[in-house]
Structures are given as structure tokens and as C-alpha cells.
Amino acid sequence: MDAKTGTDGKTGTLKIGNKNYELPQYEGTVGPDVVDISRLYDEAGLFTYDPGFTSTASCESKITFIDGDEGILLYRGYPIEQLAEHGDFLETCYLLLYGELPTVAEKLDFDRTVTRHTMIHEQMARFYQGFRRDAHPMAVMVGCVGALSSFYHDSADIGDPRQRMIASFRLIAKMPTIAAMAYKYTIGQPFMYPKNDLAYASNFLRMCFGVPCEDYEVNPVLARAMDRIFILHADHEQNASTSTVRLAGSSAANPFACIAAGIACLWGPAHGGANEAALKMLVEIGKPERIPEYVRRAKDKNDPFRLMGFGHRVYRNYDPRAKIMQTTCHKVLAETGAKDDLFEVALELERIALHDEYFIEKQLYPNIDFYSGITLKAMGFPTTMFTVLFALARTVGWIAQWKEMIEDPSQKIGRPRQLYTGATYRDYIPIDRRM
Ligand code: ACO
């Protein structure tokens, strides 16, 4: 079987056996073209097979672009470095949702609208009491975000563009409140209501670390770091959790249920849980003198150990988010005065790995998780909250991708096929005649 591009660049010829199939080929604005195989079953009686979807474009999208070879990440065309340097998270939310950066008036209006939705229904606060005190906050998030659908029936009308937008505002606005409450519940402190004169990240920090008996003073360095971490995690094209949200939404499920599905997927250690693993590894290494031992282990085929926070399915270059995260980490450590032994270990480990033949040859570079764990720990978050923060920030990406899918006229319910290798047809055997 071989595939080749048609001469005009618009069709591809797929040769299977001695038959040729002309398949439409589509050009993106940037990045590889795709071959449309949707008619292949009708024409050739064949399915394609691509475990992990490593070569499959599941949709057309205008939101986020990654060039993994060059280490480039663009939201609506804007490089992540510029957005993180000059913008704020709500501006990024606006950009992801609407496709353009807001004007001053649009930004004011958007901020005000999101702010007006920060409270959750008072009855929802009682849900928390039903969880065990030691429940993982991601378990609480999956439950509570899904439960939003029982309060906002209007937002379940996904055929109405206005309701889709209201659902988007609600989700972006309520996630910090729900996440902070999940944290407060696990440490036995009273919930803090949102304070709407604070900016998005500051409000979240206050809901997490403030208490009703004292005024909470926002630290601008930490608030900026939090905001930046949200920007860095806001979207990452068709990753596992985003694809989960799209798949759930393709059946016309309500947006809260779809985002709860995304949170469930993100929870896994191979996805959102990697920063916790990277932090654990740095703690275990403990001091720079021990790094060579761990690098040796990472290279040993017979040792399952991997350098956590290194390597990425898409980036075969330095993850652009990791660079910004490294700078943010440095600023947070300088501000908090947190002992920065782990940062020293991380910098030295990065230096050694980037000069090591094994990592160079396999194109393994630090990913965003390498520095985010140290940063969040220094800011005061327990490791169980790391993935919750990721979910909070990624909600805008999920919802933008969900909206794009609903608004795409070619959208169909997601229904992959399979290569079946189980038993063939056989007759039922009554239980008394089974061997
Ligand atoms: N340390 C040591 N060796 C590694 C590492 C690593 N971190 N990552 C990959 N390799 C090696 C593999 O052993 C493999 O070697 P081989 O070709 O000799 O068999 C080769 O590099 C390719 O690795 P794959 O696992 O095939 O690459 P894949 O793209 O499937 O995996 C992944 C990417 C899962 C991220 C992997 O690099 C990894 O496990 N990294 C550590 C975990 C981590 O940091 N995950 C966070 C990802 S970022 C995010 O989710 C936000």
C-alpha cells in the first residue's frame, strides 16, 4: 500500500493491491495537508487503523496550531510567548472563543460578563459535604462540573448560539470557584465566596488561600504567575481530553457533561498528572550529585524509569511553554523565598539531558510539566491540586473546541470503527451443557 500526493496537490492516490483510489486532499493554512479517507470504506471496503490517532486528523479547526518540530504553539495565530508576556488570561479566553483579540470595550465587557457568573448555586455547596474528606479534588471536580447541568437547564439548549455563549461564560467563571471549594473542603476550611472586584487569577488565589477571619492581600507576583500558568494551559489542539470533550459533545450532550468528561480524561497521569510525577522525581533526586544516576536509569532499556517532564508526543523540540514556565518558576521562587534546591536540580538535570547523546538523538526536551510542579508547590498548592489547576485553565480550550464542533455544519456523531479479532459467530450453549 502506498499513498502519494496528486499533482495538483488537491487529491491523493492511494494504491491498495492493484487498485488506485483518488482521495481528496486538503491544505491547512499551515502544517501538513490531510487526505480525506471518509469514502474509503464505501469504495474499498476497508477501514484505516491508527491506534492512538497518531496520524489521524479528527476534525478541521481554526483555534490552536502546534509545530512540534519547531517548538511553536499558536492560539488563533498568536505565539504563546507573546500572549503570556503581554496579555492576561481573560484576553486569551476571548481570543480562543471569538477568534480575535478584544478591543478595550470588548475586553471590559467580557471581563464584566465573566465576573458576573462567578458564584455557584448555593445548593451546590451542599454537594461537597457528600464527598469523603480525603476525596481527590479531581473526583470532586468531575462530579460538581457535571452537576452544573442540573442547575442551568437553559444552557442545555445547545442549538441556541446565545445559550452556547452563556454556557461558555458560566464554565469559565465558575471553574475557579468550584476548584477552590474542592481545595477548601479537603483541608476543612470554610468556602470563600468570589470577590468580583479582583482579577480572575487574584480572585482564585484569594478563594484558595484566604480565610473569612482575615483580609487577604493579593501578591501581584504570584497573581501574575497564576495568570500566566492559566494562559500556558488554555488550549493544546486535539489532545486526549479535548478529543474526549468533542466526542462527548458530538452526541449533542450538554456542555457541562462534556467538560466533566474532559476533566475525567485529564485526570490520568499520562496527561494532566505528569507535573505531579515530575515534582516527585525531582524530590527523589534531591541533589545535583545524584542526577547522573537517574539519567543513567532513564537510558537503561531494562529500567522502566523515565525522566518525567521530558519528551512529548507532539514536540520534538523544546516545548515553548516550558521556557516560559522556567522563567515564571524563577520569579515565584525569588518572591516566596522558597528553598530552591529543586529548581537547582531541575536546571542541572535539564542541562545534562540536553547535552546527552540519548536525549539529543530521541529529541527529548523538557515539557511544560518539568517546571510547573515546582512553581505550583512554591505558590502553596498541594500536589493533588495540580491537575485541578490544569482543568481550570483548559476549560476555555475545551469549550472553544466544543463550540467550534457544534457550529461546524459537517459535524457528525463521533463513531470510530475497529479491527475485530474476537470470536466469530457461534450458537448459545445452555449452561448445563457447557464443559
Ligand atoms: N525519559 C527517557 N526516555 C524517554 C522519555 C523520557 N522521559 N520519553 C521518551 N523516551 C524514549 C522512549 O523510551 C523511546 O525510546 P525507544 O525508541 O528506544 O523505544 C523513545 O524515547 C520514544 O518514546 P515514546 O514513548 O515512543 O514517545 P511518545 O511520543 O509515545 O511518548 C511521552 C511521549 C508519553 C510524553 C513520553 O515522552 C514520556 O513518557 N515522558 C515522561 C512523562 C511526561 O513528562 N509526560 C508529560 C507530557 S506533557 C503533557 O501531557 C502536558
What phi and psi values does residue 22 have, to the nearest 5 degrees?
Answer: -85, 120
**Residue located nearest, by CA, to atom 44 of ligand 1:** 309
Half-sphere exposure of 163 (CA within 13 A, CB side): 14
- Residue 156: predicted pLDDT: 81
Rounded Cα distance between 377 and 371, Å, is: 10
Write the single-letter amino acid at 381. Answer: F
CB–CB of 115/169 below 8 Å?
no
pLDDT at res. 1: 37
Distance between alpha carbon 123 and the CA centroid of its chain, in Å? Answer: 29
Atom of ligand 1 nearest to the CA of 362: 21
Question: Is the CB–ligand 1 distance for residue 298 below 6 Å?
Answer: yes
Does residue 176 contact residue 223 with C-beta atoms inside 8 Å? no
Ligand 1 centre distance from Cα of residue 253 (Å): 34
Q: Whose CA is nearest to atom 17 of ligand 1?
A: 362
Mutating to test ligand 1, I would choose from 310, 349, 358 the residue with most ligand atoms within 8 A of its C-beta, which is 310
User: Ligand 1 pocket: which of 53, 362, 367 to mutate (most atoms <8 Å of CB)?
Assistant: 362
Contact between residue 37 and residue 57 where contact means Cβ atoms under 8 Å apart: no
Cβ atoms within 10 Å, residue 109:
13
Ligand 1 and 296: CB distance under 6 A: no
Given a contact cutoff of 8 angstroms between Cβ atoms, the answer to whether 28 and 34 are in contact is yes
Q: How many CB atoms lie within 10 A of CB 50?
A: 11
The CB of 309 under 6 Å from ligand 1? The reply is yes
- Long-range CB pairs of 189-196 (<8 Å, 24+ gap) are 191/125, 191/128, 193/119, 194/118, 194/119, 196/115, 196/116, 196/118
Question: What is the rounded distance in angstroms from the CA atom of residue 217 to the CA atom of residue 333?
Answer: 18
248, 257 contact by CB (below 8 A): yes
Instruction: Name every residue whose Cβ is closer than 8 Å to that of residue 77 and which is 6 or more positions away in sequence.
Output: 65
Task: Please give the single-letter amino acid code of residue 251.
Answer: S
User: Cα Rg for the chain, rounded, in angstroms?
Assistant: 24
Q: How far is the CA of 314 from the centre of ligand 1 (A)?
A: 10
Q: Which of the listed residues 364, 365, 368 should we mutate to test ligand 1's pocket, taking the one with most ligand atoms within 8 A of CB?
A: 364
Backbone angles phi, psi at 296, to 5 degrees: -60, -45
Contact 402, 171 (CB under 8 A): no
Determine whether the shortest distance from the Cβ of 369 to ligand 1 is under 6 A: yes
Whether 240 and 265 have beta carbons less than 8 Å apart is answered as: yes
Q: Which residues are catalytic?
A: 312, 369
364 lines ligand 1 (CB under 6 A): yes
Query: What pLDDT does residue 7 have?
Result: 40
Nearest residue by C-alpha to atom 30 in ligand 1: 313
Q: Tell me which residue of 311, 308, 298 sits closest to 383, measured CA to CA.
A: 308
Instruction: Report yes or no: 249 and 402 within 8 Å, Cβ to Cβ.
Output: yes
For ligand 1, say whether the CB of 308 is within 6 Å of any of its atoms.
yes
**Other Cβ atoms closer than 10 A to 134:** 7
pTM metric for this prediction: 0.92
pLDDT at 90: 98
Tell me the backbone φ, ψ of residue 24, rounded to 5 degrees: -60, 145
Ligand 1 center–CA 308 separation, angstroms: 8
55 CA to centre of ligand 1 in angstroms:
17
Give the 3-state secondary structure of residue 356: coil
Instruction: Please work out whether the CB of residue 310 comes within 6 Å of at least one atom of ligand 1.
Output: yes
Is there an atom of ligand 1 within 6 Å of 232 CB?
no
Q: Is 362 in the pocket of ligand 1 (CB under 6 A)?
A: yes
The closest of 266, 287, 268, 269 to 278, measured between CA atoms, is 269
Q: Pick out the chain residues at pLDDT < 70.
A: 1-9
